[in-house]
């Protein structure tokens, strides 16, 4: 035990104890506070109820009627033993989960502290760990909802921690396949924590396999560039509305073809050799030839597929736009690497010679890494196919369907360039809480750009000025910038986070949420930590100032921990709410107006389904329902499907059921008998009235 404790610094121990103390105190709060002040998101209770049902032997089902896979698997595995306690008391597992999440938060903060302390400075590490632990936006979005985000954040940061260690060892010691397999397994853990982190998991493998070459830096960012160029080109030729309803799927298909064709063209034309190994003119010609050949082949393949009826309608002029955008971005990327790389002559093998020399090693290590990652993913998909009738979570399929519907009742897909890049004021605001200071600072430009209609312009002006400042700071510290970009895994984080964002905004996905963006928060935490390090770097050389900075960082940590603790204690009160108070007033109403044993349909209904007694809630929007129900909903047969499974009562807004995705299919079967809070209790009739 003593040796175990010695592995932790005093700051790590204190930080962990403070986080746990605050949250254990919150876990002892009145029962009423949990559904109303802490685990407030309806989506979290989808996990809780399914986990409870699995633990009690009812299978992977929210309602004990329909089997569902509408969740991320790793978080469900964590929830199952915790919500086995729900058979005794429905609040008890919430108390336990709150503490378990706090432990994950503490471990994540400690890992962030260790990574930054090792590669940057102690003072910056204290500030970064403090920010991650006590920032209210991060806490509310990542740790307070009860969703999969705590394990996603922990798995991403732990992978970075292990990759930073690998980065130091491979340069001095031979790498064995066991190390590659382990990193592949950790990447799979990241993927299963949130399935959309599969992009980050795949990109990580590029840096591992192509270590020692420029491919590891250029290829991940090229993949992001290809995705941006193709999808944005189609949007520029159409508009967001037409793109979402008609062209999104064809744009993604063309992007997949472009990813294969263009990366191969870039490699064989020498665009993955070190930029300083050739002159700027030679670099430009390599990129130009690769891009034009790649674009022509991509366009030719997709047009041919259309002729054979495999591809879909596509605005062909978008291929020309794609060529221009991708060429510009490829050149900008390599020019940046040229400027930041240290001067000196570098002998680089020609592409074919390099491939001949390394193909066996790349194949063996690629098979080891992607064999684990891909094998586990295929196993997961096969299990889903045989157990649930579909290989991927039905919740994601439904939201992509929503995005293609006109005037849907649920959140619409990307509608402008702000949301496409995740910088909008409303969802998806991907880069919070880091964009908030820029919105505040943009007010200083009101004299230059007055008027409420120029809000976005002031914001982007602020970001542009900041970007110039950052570029100058990085250019003045080229060696440190290159070293820490690698050690902090910023390139895979940038590429993986960017592709994950576009996998929603460029694919007509309806209903993105603020908790999707865990990797972006991690990326910007490390990125801003490095920037703060560069600002404080001159003071770090003076021993007295270094100590002073550490003391200042500790005082800041104490201030924010104290402020955070006070607010949590105000929210999670003790002895204020009566123990017999209903957890939710709507549950009390439903129980009073429906017979015991009723099967009741709701649009949503996660928290009601978890807390209600002697009744069953069926999810009608389909997010936590079966694949069969999804097909019935699309076919206009949802009322018949649900009635056959014993659902005779609905609690919903009838006006919501008239518009997509319901299209009024329930209306002929409904008869209202009571109302509450803008919703009606309705009978679901056996035969339609008209």
Give pLDDT tens digits for 77-125: 999 999 999 999 999 999 999 999 999 999 999 999 999 999 999 999 9
- Residue 425, C-beta contacts closer than 8 angstroms, at least 6 positions apart: 418, 439, 455
Mean pLDDT, residues 382-408: 92
Query: How confident is the model at residue 4, as a pLDDT?
Result: 62
Query: How confident is the model at residue 346, as a pLDDT?
Result: 61
Query: How confident is the model at residue 540, as a pLDDT?
Result: 80
Q: Is the pLDDT of residue 1 over 60?
A: no
Range name among 36-45, 364-373, 532-541 with the lowest pLDDT average: 532-541
CB 193 within 8 A of CB 108: no
pLDDT digits (tens, 9 = 90+) for 10-24: 999 999 999 999 999
Mean pLDDT, residues 375-384: 97
Roughly how many angstroms between the first and final C-alpha of the chain, as a whole number? 73
pLDDT digits (tens, 9 = 90+) for 592-613: 999 999 999 999 899 999 999 9
pLDDT digits (tens, 9 = 90+) for 153-169: 999 999 999 999 999 89
- Residue 574, C-beta contacts closer than 8 angstroms, at least 6 positions apart: 28, 29, 30
Torsion-angle region of 433 (φ positive above 0: left; ψ -120 to 50: alpha; else: beta): alpha
Mean pLDDT, residues 316-334: 94
Query: How confident is the model at residue 497, as a pLDDT?
Result: 96
pLDDT digits (tens, 9 = 90+) for 616-661: 999 999 999 999 999 999 999 999 999 999 999 999 998 899 999 9
Q: Is the pLDDT of residue 486 over 70?
A: yes
Query: How confident is the model at residue 51, as a pLDDT?
Result: 97
Query: How confident is the model at residue 310, as a pLDDT?
Result: 75
Mean pLDDT, residues 418-437: 82
pLDDT digits (tens, 9 = 90+) for 183-240: 999 999 999 999 999 999 999 999 999 998 999 999 999 999 999 999 999 999 998 9
pTM across the whole model? 0.94
Q: Is the pLDDT of residue 152 over 60?
A: yes
More confident position, 476 or 425: 476
Q: Is the pLDDT of residue 345 over 60?
A: no
Q: Is the pLDDT of residue 71 over 90?
A: yes
Alpha carbon 213 to its chain centroid, in Å, reads 29
Nearest Cα neighbor of 279 from 345, 214, 217, 206 is 345
Angle at 229 between CA 228 and CA 230, to 5 degrees: 100
Give me the percent of the chain exceeding a pLDDT of 70. 98
Mean pLDDT, residues 579-587: 90
Main-chain phi, psi angles of 429, to 5 degrees:
-95, 85
Query: How confident is the model at residue 627, as a pLDDT?
Result: 96
Here the tokens at position 322 are: 């794609």
Give me the percent of the chain exceeding a pLDDT of 90. 72
- Residue 367, C-beta contacts closer than 8 angstroms, at least 6 positions apart: none
Mean pLDDT of the chain: 92
- Going from N- to C-terminal start, the domains of the chain cover 9-38+69-169+541-575, 395-535, 585-684
């Amino acid at each position: 035990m003593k040796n175990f404790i010695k592995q932790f610094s005093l700051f790590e121990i204190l930080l962990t104890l403070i986080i746990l103390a605050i949250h254990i105190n919150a876990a002892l709060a009145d029962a009423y506070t949990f559904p109303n002040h802490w685990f407030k998101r309806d989506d979290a209770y989808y996990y809780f109820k399914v986990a409870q049902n699995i633990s009690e032997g009812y299978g992977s089902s929210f309602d004990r009627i329909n089997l569902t896979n509408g969740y991320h698997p790793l978080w469900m595995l964590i929830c199952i033993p915790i919500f086995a306690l729900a058979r005794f008391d429905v609040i008890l597992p919430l108390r336990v989960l709150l503490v378990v999440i706090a432990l994950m938060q503490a471990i994540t903060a400690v890992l962030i502290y260790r990574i930054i302390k090792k590669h940057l400075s102690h003072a910056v590490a204290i500030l970064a760990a403090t920010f991650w632990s006590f920032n209210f936006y991060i806490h509310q979005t990542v740790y307070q909802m009860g969703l999969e985000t705590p394990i996603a954040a922990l798995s991403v940061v732990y992978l970075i921690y292990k990759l930073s260690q690998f980065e130091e060892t491979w340069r001095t010691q031979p790498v064995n396949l066991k190390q590659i397999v382990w990193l592949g397994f950790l990447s799979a853990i990241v993927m299963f924590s949130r399935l959309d982190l599969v992009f980050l998991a795949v990109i990580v493998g590029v840096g591992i396999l192509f270590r020692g070459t420029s491919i590891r830096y250029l290829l991940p960012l090229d993949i992001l560039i290809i995705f941006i160029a193709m999808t944005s080109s189609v949007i520029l030729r159409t508009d967001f509305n037409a793109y979402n309803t008609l062209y999104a799927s064809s744009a993604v298909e063309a992007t997949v073809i472009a990813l294969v064709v263009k990366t191969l063209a870039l490699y064989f034309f020498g665009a993955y050799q070190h930029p300083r190994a050739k002159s700027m003119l030679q670099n430009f010609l390599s990129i130009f030839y690769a891009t034009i050949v790649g674009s022509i082949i991509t366009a030719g393949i997709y047009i041919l597929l259309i002729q054979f009826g495999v591809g879909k309608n596509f605005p062909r002029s978008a291929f020309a736009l794609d060529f221009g955008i991708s060429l510009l971005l490829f050149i900008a990327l390599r020019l940046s690497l040229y400027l930041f790389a240290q001067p000196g002559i570098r002998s680089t093998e020609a592409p074919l010679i390099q491939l001949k020399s390394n193909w066996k090693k790349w194949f063996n290590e690629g098979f080891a890494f992607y064999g684990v990652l891909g094998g586990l993913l295929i196993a997961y998909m096969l299990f889903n196919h045989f157990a649930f009738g579909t290989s991927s979570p039905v919740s994601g399929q439904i939201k992509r369907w929503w995005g293609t519907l006109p005037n849907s009742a649920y959140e619409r897909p990307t509608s402008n360039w702000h949301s496409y890049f995740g910088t909008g004021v409303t969802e998806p605001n991907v880069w919070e809480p880091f964009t908030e200071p820029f919105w505040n600072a943009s007010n200083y430009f009101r004299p230059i750009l007055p008027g409420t209609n120029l809000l976005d312009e002031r914001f982007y002006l602020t970001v542009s000025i900041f970007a110039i400042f950052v570029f100058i700071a990085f250019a003045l510290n080229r060696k440190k910038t290159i070293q820490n970009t690698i050690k902090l895994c910023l390139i895979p984080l940038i590429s993986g986070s960017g592709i994950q964002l576009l996998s929603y905004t460029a694919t007509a996905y309806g209903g993105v949420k603020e908790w999707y963006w865990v990797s972006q928060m991690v990326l910007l935490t490390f990125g801003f930590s490095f920037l703060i390090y560069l600002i404080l770097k001159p003071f770090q050389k003076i021993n007295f100032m270094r100590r002073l900075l550490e003391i200042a960082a500790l005082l800041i940590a104490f201030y924010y921990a104290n402020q955070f603790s006070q607010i949590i204690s105000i929210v999670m009160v003790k002895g204020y709410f009566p123990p017999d108070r209903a957890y939710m007033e709507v549950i009390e109403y439903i129980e009073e107006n429906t017979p015991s044993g009723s099967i009741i349909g709701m649009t949503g209904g996660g928290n009601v389904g978890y807390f209600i007694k002697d009744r069953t809630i069926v999810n009608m929007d389909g997010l936590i329902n079966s694949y069969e129900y999804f097909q019935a909903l699309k076919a206009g047969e949802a009322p018949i499907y649900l009635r056959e499974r014993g659902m005779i009562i609905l609690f919903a807004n009838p006006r919501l059921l008239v518009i997509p995705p319901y299209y009024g299919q329930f209306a002929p079967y409904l008869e209202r008998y009571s109302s509450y809070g803008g919703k009606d209790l309705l009978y679901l009739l056996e035969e339609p009235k008209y």
